[in-house]
Amino acid sequence: MKKIFILGACGLFLSIAGAQGVMTPELLWSLGRVGAETVTPDGQHVIFGVTYYDIATGVGERNLFSIGLTDHKPIQLTTTKGGENSVMTLPGGKMGYIYQGQIWQSEWDGSNAKQLTNYPDGLSNVRFSPDGKHILFSKDVKLIDVLASEKYKDLPNSSVRIYESLNYRHWDTWEDGAYSHIMLATWDNGIIGPEKDIMDGLPFDSPQMPFGGVEDFMFHNDNDHIIYVTKALHGTDYTQSTNTDIYLYTMSTGDTKNITAGMEGYDTNPNFSPDGNRLAWLSMARNGYEADKNRLYINDIKNKVVIDASESFDESIEALRWSNNGNFIYFLSPINGTLQLFELDVTNVFTKVDGRKRNPIRQVTSGDYDVASIVGETNGMLVVTRTDMNHAAELFLVNPSTGVMTAITEINKPNYDKIGMCKTERKMVKTTDGLDMLVWFIYPPNFDPNKKYPTLLYCQGGPQSALTQFYSFRWNFQLMASQGYIVVAPNRRGMPGHGTKWNEQISKDWGGQAINDYYSAIDYAKTLPYVDADRCGAVGASYGGYSVYMMAGTHQGRFKTFIAHDGLFNLQSFYGTTDEMWFATWDLGGPYWSRGVQDNSYLQFNPITFVSEWNTPILIFQGGKDYRTTEDQAFQAFQAAQLRGIRSRFVYLPDENHWVLKCHNGLAWQREFFDWLHQTL
């Protein structure tokens, strides 16, 4: 029945679009997913990967491609079954990449491919020393016994786990007593010599779990020093702190030094300048606050000067990269509902004019799109990936002097040419406290302002994550609008891109001004002649799911239906089950047993408090491997809705985490999503 609905809905909106197709879940999952790799050493080509999903089997296949920066003609480099990734320049200049856990070598045109290594456990996060004589890679090192079969040798078939501290599970994985460590070994054309654990067998992770990668460590160009990121804590202490530090390891002596000691928050993304004389990294000031302003620090190693190069910049920084000549640092930052490219003039940071520093930061790009990543630099131009609400990631060239962008790839153009695009529009809405709030409006293809459309209020998660021109393969605004809905997406309190004060206002106030911002957005939308005020719904995940649960008991008839994914329903049980305690402690103001906290986070701002007011249909999604917002939250919410006699549906995804990553699960999610809206809105 659900499949019939999707096809029928597509037929309906085809006629609306004037015989032009629209985005559907199946088309969305058939798009090529472009992932940038690197610029070739000669600066003439970009290597990138494209993943395609077979809708019939749900299996994804990733291959490598090369595209010329002058002719823009893509050439497929690999055809082997499975995903090739982590393209690198091997000692000697040939192309290297990881395939099935081993390093492979080929020419830069993909020819003469051969396997170089046969490492027993597989390799990941590989770095080579500048002289090509050493290799770094990450490896899980077993340090602590947690299984009963390990503790009691006569019980080999026991599946019992035994823990004496928190962090017993993280994100979507149970702790098994192994830690990710950086291994140093000699390299001789595929022969990996004796390896050394530069972390000395300590129970810390590098790369950082669960999302850290090769950006967490690198060689210095003197071939003797290595920097890496770790949080020197484990167990319960680990769950209560965000204090990662950057460590300097000396190969010749085996000594390790903490070079960010005293900096109490996250220290990440360490990068040496091309000449090795300066080290840049990102740093947050406050321990326990994972959404603190991310500052850009530079250590002038020769002159022993450390400065906050972003002191006057009122936003968080991400994805930094040195220019090839070392005079600039390029980085990304959210700004006014988009993610843009910025340039920091390193010379200006250390130079004063008339005793005053000049402003070293300049915005390079601007427009209704996101610069999603910085790939590399060639011939004075930057290679980036770019998205907007109608287009998945593609490669672009950027002139850093003018900000002018030129498309390099158009992998999905044949599909886009067959469907109608969705207009996106900025609107400024007054909030209940008299401030201006940016709200994105996304309209169906061939939008007719003389008609009335059902409308969805989209509630972003985070809660302090930017709502920009991103392109999601689940919460896809183009897909939602293409099914005939107007999407209203507010940049409510707590979102970066509007100054640090706006970003910080949500902490300890989850159910306060941010929820009022949502109400301001939907109340404004209902004044527009093309919004059907009687057919509005609210949808969201994570904090967005919390927002849906919160509004379900306080919306006073504004909405006709709700959809919540992995939302927080009961903040007391959330505090007792979530994996990263620093987040819950900071954002909620403390544990539920602390005096003075209960009246706000655990009562006034707790969705379970208002269940007696629930009266609106609700669809609840939940991942079974989500240890950030655990499944008991959804169980409680669905049980409450059912016992209250409210029309409700529960969609459980046992093998998904906080996201939905598998193709067939994603398609099922989207079909249930639109089927519910069709029935209730």
Our answer to whether residue 547 is catalytic in this structure is no
Closest CA to 573 of 545, 612, 608, 620: 608
Residue 460: pLDDT band (50, 70, 90) is: very high
Residue 10 has pLDDT above 70, yes or no: no
Average pLDDT over residues 499-517: 97
Identified catalytic residue from 267, 626, 648, 675: 626
Amino acid at 151: K
Angle of the 543-552 helix axis to the 513-525 helix axis, nearest 10: 70
Residue 19: pLDDT band (50, 70, 90) is: very low
Q: Tens of pLDDT along 99-137?
A: 999 999 999 999 999 999 999 989 999 999 999 999 999
Query: With the CA atoms of 584, 590, 592 and 597 taken in that order, what torsion angle do they form, in degrees rounded to the nearest 10?
Result: -130
* Residue 162 CA from chain centroid, whole number: 32
The pLDDT assigned to 136 comes to 98
Q: Tens of pLDDT along 380-390?
A: 999 999 999 99
Residue 508 has pLDDT above 50, yes or no: yes
Average pLDDT over residues 178-202: 97
Tokens 């000449």, residue located: 275
The pLDDT assigned to 358 comes to 65
Q: In what order do the strands lie in the sheet with 102-106?
A: 84-89, 95-99, 102-106, 114-115
Residue 357: pLDDT band (50, 70, 90) is: low
Identified catalytic residue from 45, 555, 565, 658: 658
Our answer to whether residue 542 is catalytic in this structure is yes
Beta bridge partners, 387, equal 370
Quote the pTM value: 0.95
Q: Tens of pLDDT along 287-303?
A: 999 999 999 999 999 99
Q: Which CATH superfamily is domain 419-680 in?
A: Alpha/Beta hydrolase fold, catalytic domain (3.40.50.1820)
- Residue 75: strand, helix, or coil: strand
Beta bridge partners, 64, equal 49
Residue 354 has pLDDT above 70, yes or no: no
Amino acid at 311: E
The pLDDT assigned to 595 comes to 79
The pLDDT assigned to 40 comes to 98
Contact present, 503 and 492 (Cβ < 8 Å):
no
Residue 37 has pLDDT above 90, yes or no: yes
Residue 15 has pLDDT above 70, yes or no: no
The pLDDT assigned to 5 comes to 27
Residue 9 has pLDDT above 70, yes or no: no
Can you tell me the distance from the alpha carbon of 308 to that of 258, in angstroms, rounded to the nearest whole number? 18
Percent of the chain clearing pLDDT 70 (strictly above): 96
Q: Tens of pLDDT along 555-567?
A: 999 999 999 999 9
Pairing of strands 561-565, 531-541: parallel
Q: Tens of pLDDT along 193-213?
A: 999 999 999 999 999 999 999
Contacts of 403 (CB under 8 A, 6+ apart): 341, 363, 364, 365, 366
Our answer to whether residue 599 is catalytic in this structure is no
Q: How far is CA 597 from CA 133, 508, 509, 545, in A?
A: 56, 9, 11, 22
| Residue 607 DSSP code | G
The pLDDT assigned to 2 comes to 30
Residue 216 has pLDDT above 80, yes or no: yes
Closest CA to 578 of 651, 645, 629: 629
The pLDDT assigned to 6 comes to 30
Residue 538: pLDDT band (50, 70, 90) is: very high
Identified catalytic residue from 86, 507, 542, 547: 542
Amino acid at 371: V
Average pLDDT over residues 95-100: 98
Angle of the 663-680 helix axis to the 2-16 helix axis, nearest 10: 70
Residue 355 has pLDDT above 60, yes or no: no
Can you tell me the distance from the alpha carbon of 485 to that of 483, in angstroms, rounded to the nearest whole number? 6
The pLDDT assigned to 165 comes to 97
Can you tell me the distance from the alpha carbon of 546 to that of 607, in angstroms, rounded to the nearest whole number? 7
Runs of H (alpha helix) within 446-570: 477-482, 500-504, 513-525, 543-552
Residue 600: pLDDT band (50, 70, 90) is: confident
